Chain A
Amino acid sequence: MLGTLNTRVMLEYLPELLQGLQATLLLSVSGFAGAMLIGIIACALTIQPLRWPRAIVIAYVDIIRATPLLAQLYFLYFGLPRIGILIPEFHIGIIALALNSGAYVAEIIRSGILSIQRGQVEAGISTGLSYLQRMRHIVLPQALRPTVSPLIGQAIVLVKDSSLLSLISVVELTRAGQRIANERFMPFEGLVATATAYLAIYFLLKFLAELWSRHNSLPDRA
């Protein structure tokens, strides 16, 4: 099957594919940066004592987790113009990815924070440390460490999810591959080319995750 692969056409479309790769990387990096920002804020709002902000965040996380990303994407794509917000598809894509992953990031960070034993917080309280001081010196330095691997996992998911943006005519990797299918009637060549690029991104992130965990799983930190 692969023996009949038309590599000449794939090479011919290399500039388009690289452009698509560049767009996918830009979407992923901005989307994930947004997701981290949203996730940290959302998480902060769920662990503070006020009830209303907490309820809003819980509703947000539930909605995102209950509905498909494609539905969320169309919701923004068709919904934003109806309330008078006209922004390019590319930006809608970043917003959708950030909102979607943000909910998962919030949950990941929250699980890290909840893993800190209550006793350490009580020790902080007993010595007079304020809420913010306890967060800064006791909770966060420990809570964030175990979240790095799941966060890289979420980043890998986000990269693949960005392929859905081809459906709202954002020209990224998947869309670039589809051009080979549409213009040359060679869907298989397009798929192989895009899959190879996704694989490369995946291995890069996996390498980072392994590097991090190797560096941080030393038995003795002293």
Chain B
Amino acid sequence: MIEFSGVNKWFGALHVLCDIDLAVTRGEVVVVCGPSGSGKSTLIRCVNGLEPYQKGRLMVDGIHVGQEPRRMRELRMEVGFVFQSFNLYPHKTALENVTLAPIHVRGMSRVAAAERGRALLERVGLGDRMGSYPHQLSGGQQQRVAIARALCMQPKVMLFDEPTSALDPEMVKEVLDVIISLAGEGMTMMVVTHEMGFARSVADRVVFMDQGSIIETATPESFFTNPQSERGRDFLGKVLQH
């Protein structure tokens, strides 16, 4: 479904992605972790073309990302993205946020889009907040609207860029629960997160990055109990301490 082969990216002189090789198969849940500045976010932002890369090859759902500019919209229709800072449209209600793209990109009728949008908002537990504007919602509620917005396009892949990092601790669970239920349905996902408990319970594989490189890839069980790399041990020692 997603295949990085020798992908490299530079921000000026800074080498942010170094020879990335990674394949994510259909239905797989891959959690990407690592210290800040390790290139995790950049990695998943490449998948839907939010960031260009300079060298190597990245194939997503049969589309060569960056080489087929005309097919990028087609690709983005199939790849949902959830941001750390939610990025809801503040001038639109929760339901309008969710139905905007299905109406204008998928060409759905307003009625059909609203029906699907309502079902998704119900599903993320916001059935009673359809008409609310983002500033009237809590962070956790906003992030759940953002997830519903991405799902409303019926994507084949979902990408999550630190979806709970901007949330107050008591709201983390309500967002993670939604992601866990998606994993249970067989959605293909890449999740950048610092929530190690969540990673352990939901991931099929954990990818550990540092300084732009993938240091190790392992099942959560083996990564969390017996990391193979020095840097992996060091990182786990820091995040699992408390």
Q: Is A149 in contact with chain B by the CB < 8 A criterion?
A: no
Query: Which residues of chain B have C-beta atoms less than 8 A from A141's C-beta?
Result: 91
- Interface contact B89-A123, CB-CB below 8 Å: yes
CA–CA, A209 and B48, complex, Å? 43
Query: Which residues of chain A have C-beta atoms less than 8 A from B87's C-beta?
Result: 117, 119-120, 122-123
Q: Is B90 in contact with chain A by the CB < 8 A criterion?
A: yes
Residue of A with least CB distance to B49: A125
Which of A105-131 touch B at CB < 8 Å?
A: 117, 119-120, 122-130
Stretch at the interface among B19-27, B74-82, B183-191, B215-223: B74-82
- Interface contact A122-B50, CB-CB below 8 Å: yes
CA–CA, A129 and B101, complex, Å? 6
Query: Which residues of chain B have C-beta atoms less than 8 A from A123's C-beta?
Result: 81, 83, 87-89, 146, 149
Query: Which residues of chain B have C-beta atoms less than 8 A from A119's C-beta?
Result: 83, 85, 87
User: How many pairs of residues, A versus B, come closer than 8 Å at their CB atoms?
Assistant: 68
From the candidates A125, A127, A222, name the one contacting B150 in the complex (CB within 8 A).
A127
CA–CA, A130 and B132, complex, Å? 26
Q: Is A142 in contact with chain B by the CB < 8 A criterion?
A: yes
- Interface contact B89-A138, CB-CB below 8 Å: yes
CB distance from B32 to the nearest CB of A (A): 17
Which of A133-158 touch B at CB < 8 Å?
A: 133, 137-138, 141-142
- Interface contact B80-A126, CB-CB below 8 Å: yes
From the candidates A120, A126, A129, A133, name the one contacting B50 in the complex (CB within 8 A).
A126
Q: Is B104 in contact with chain A by the CB < 8 A criterion?
A: yes
Query: Which residues of chain B have C-beta atoms less than 8 A from A142's C-beta?
Result: 89-91
- Interface contact A129-B105, CB-CB below 8 Å: yes
Interface bits B117-161 vs A (CB < 8 Å: 1, else 0): 000000000000001110010000000001001100100000000
CB distance from A114 to the nearest CB of B (A): 16
Query: Which residues of chain A have C-beta atoms less than 8 A from B48's C-beta?
Result: 126
Query: Which residues of chain A have C-beta atoms less than 8 A from B74's C-beta?
Result: 128
CA–CA, A141 and B100, complex, Å? 14
CB distance from A150 to the nearest CB of B (A): 19
Residue of B with least CB distance to A219: B135
Query: Which residues of chain A have C-beta atoms less than 8 A from B146's C-beta?
Result: 123
Name A's interface SS: helix
Query: Which residues of chain A have C-beta atoms less than 8 A from B15's C-beta?
Result: none
From the candidates B100, B131, B132, name the one contacting A129 in the complex (CB within 8 A).
B100
Interface bits B21-64 vs A (CB < 8 Å: 1, else 0): 00000000000000000000000000010100000000000000
CA–CA, A125 and B149, complex, Å? 13
CB distance from A125 to the nearest CB of B (A): 7
- Interface contact A125-B76, CB-CB below 8 Å: yes
CB distance from A217 to the nearest CB of B (A): 14
- Interface contact A129-B104, CB-CB below 8 Å: yes
A129-B104, A137-B100 are contacts. A220–B136 as well, Cβ < 8 Å? yes
CB distance from A127 to the nearest CB of B (A): 4
Query: Which residues of chain B have C-beta atoms less than 8 A from A126's C-beta?
Result: 48, 50, 76, 79-81, 150
- Interface contact B89-A128, CB-CB below 8 Å: no
CA–CA, A130 and B105, complex, Å? 8
CA–CA, A124 and B132, complex, Å? 20
Interface bits A188-209 vs B (CB < 8 Å: 1, else 0): 0000000000000000000000
Q: Is B233 in contact with chain A by the CB < 8 A criterion?
A: no
Residue of B with least CB distance to A121: B87
CA–CA, A128 and B71, complex, Å? 10
> Can you pick out 30 interface pairs between chain A and chain B where the beta carbons lie within 8 Å of each other?
A119-B85, A120-B87, A120-B88, A122-B50, A122-B83, A123-B83, A123-B88, A123-B89, A124-B101, A125-B50, A126-B48, A126-B50, A126-B76, A126-B79, A126-B81, A126-B150, A127-B105, A127-B149, A127-B153, A128-B105, A129-B101, A129-B104, A130-B73, A141-B91, A142-B91, A221-B91, A221-B133, A222-B131, A222-B133, A222-B136
Top 3 nearest A-B pairs (CB, nearest first) are A127-B101, A119-B87, A126-B81
Known A126-B76, A127-B101; 20 more pairs at CB < 8 Å:
A117-B87, A120-B90, A122-B87, A125-B50, A126-B79, A127-B76, A127-B105, A128-B73, A128-B77, A129-B100, A129-B105, A130-B73, A133-B105, A137-B89, A137-B100, A137-B104, A220-B136, A221-B91, A221-B133, A222-B132
